[in-house]
Amino acid sequence: MAEGGAAAAQQAQRALLDELARILQGELDAMLAGQPLQLPELAARKSALCAELERIGPDALSDELRALLKDVAQANARNGAIVAAMIRNTQGAIDILRGAVGGGDVYDPRGQSRSSSSRPLGSA
């Protein structure tokens, strides 16, 4: 059973990692297409797959599976960096609309520079 069980576990790990890679690509595609409403469903699927991978265990990963795991981890880190950048950009836009950006200049309807602290854009 040891050799057969290890082969079956590696096959299951490979299938889960392949599916995880597809989900990570789906996350990237959704972000690049400006469709963030798809992200919660993809994140839930990703979490379920990670839990399943942990249940199977990392016993005797082959070099191929280690490389695939590394690729999946890098894709996940890339997606996380993109999400963080999107959050920063969104927060910056909200801050501008609220007039919370200190010291920066914004322009009035005539194109004249005015301090952002004089009046929030949302009240223009």
pLDDT digits (tens, 9 = 90+) for 91-121: 888 888 877 655 556 666 676 766 545 455 5
Write the pLDDT tens digit of every residue in 65-92.
888 989 999 999 999 999 999 889 988 8
| Stated length of the chain | 124
In contact, 117 and 98? CB cutoff 8 Å: no
Mean pLDDT of 4-14: 81
Mean pLDDT of the 28-37 span? 92
> Cα angle vertex 25, ends 49, 51, to 5°?
10
The model scores a pTM over 0.75: no
